[in-house]
Amino acid sequence: MDKKELARLSTEVFPLFEAEPAVVRVDHDPVIIVGDLHGNLEALEFILETGASLDCSAFVFLGDYVDRGKHSIEVLCRLFKLKVDRPGNIVLLRGNHETAEINEVYGFYEDLGRDDEVFSQVNETFDRMPIAAVVNHSMFCVHGGIGEPISLDMITKDDRFDYLWNDPCEDNGLRSSFQRWGTREFGSDICEEFLRMNNLERIVRAHSALDDGYRWWFGGKLLSIFSVPEYLGPESRGAFGLLKNGLLEIFVFGRERKGSYSIMGSEKSSLSGVLCSGP
């Protein structure tokens, strides 16, 4: 894959994103939910192959496809082609690294050989991406988080900052972030009011690198997942979720010694909380 192929695929996928609303409705069972990828093509291929083995062909990707990893162009080409080939089964949400002000600095612009034309074209395509997805009428999927609780029909592609950047925190309310300058953190009260207002059960988000690949917040009301193993060191894991028959199963994967990626554990939960864990 090279930047010419990316430019071609970007042109093909542009009208698909443009036709999608800011909040996409996804009604598939089963469906796999994927966190940050950051140019890790091996992780993407492993998740796709695992999905095939689980007889799952529907995917919701939560953003941050580019920057920091070695294969941003290849990851983006793979995802754009999947979207073109299977538009009803592939949802690509926008992450904070799908913005020009970020991906100009963190690697993608350099990966393109500082090609301004392709860089602008791809970022114009990013501008048309949806911001969030509601999966099976129960889960709100987003890259970052939420701000002031509002109804879903008030979310627009232009008013995206909170959804791409905000993080959960232990304290109630909304406050300025100590971790990311210029962004905000939201507490369990904000999460619960947003869910109540929109008749939803859970938020699933990405955006935060995690040693174990996932973390529960707010008594199971929010799940944070990150899909890049070895991002925080050789022992850190990646994770993705499979929603099937009303249960969300989290698969944790990584590399043992110098082998290929493999599943290292899983955990199932209902919408009311964790049910069981397994190897």
**C-alpha R_g of the chain:** 17
Q: SS3 for 72?
A: helix
Mean pLDDT for 28-52 is 98
Q: Work out the pLDDT band at 272, boundaries 50, 70, 90.
A: low
Give the Cα separation of 103 and 246 in Å (integer).
36
Mean pLDDT for 132-161 is 97
Q: Is 143 one of the catalytic residues?
A: no
Model pTM?
0.96
Give the Cα separation of 65 and 105 in Å (integer).
15
Ranges of beta strands (E only) in the chain are 23-26, 31-34, 59-61, 90-92, 132-135, 139-142, 167-168, 174-176, 184-186, 202-205, 214-217, 222-225, 238-244, 247-255, 261-270, 273-278
Q: Of 28, 97, 143, 207, which one is the catalytic site residue?
A: 97
Give the Cα separation of 193 and 128 in Å (integer).
28
pLDDT tens per residue across span 63-105: 999 999 999 999 999 999 999 999 999 999 999 999 999 999 9
**Which residues make Cβ contacts (< 8 Å) with residue 97, sequence separation at least 6?**
38, 63, 64, 65, 66, 67, 103, 106, 108
- What pLDDT is recorded for position 278? 43
Q: Work out the pLDDT band at 273, boundaries 50, 70, 90.
A: low
Buried-state track 91-128, b at ≥16 Cβ within 10 A, e below 16: bbbbbbbbbbebbbebbbbebbeebeebbebbbebbbb
pLDDT tens per residue across span 178-213: 888 899 999 999 999 999 999 999 999 999 999 999
Give the Cα separation of 113 and 24 in Å (integer).
33
Nearest Cα neighbor of 217 from 202, 198, 232 is: 202
- What pLDDT is recorded for position 257? 77
Q: Please give the mean pLDDT across all residues of the chain.
A: 95
**pLDDT beyond 80 at 1:** no
Q: Does residue 47 contact residue 60 with C-beta atoms inside 8 Å? A: no
Q: Does residue 1 contact residue 73 with C-beta atoms inside 8 Å? A: yes
pLDDT tens per residue across span 7-17: 999 999 999 99
**pLDDT beyond 70 at 275:** no
Query: Cis before residue 30, ω within 30 degrees of 0?
Result: yes
CATH code, 3-278: 3.60.21.10
Domain positions in the chain are 3-278
Lowest-confidence pick of 55-59, 138-142, 184-188, 274-278 = 274-278
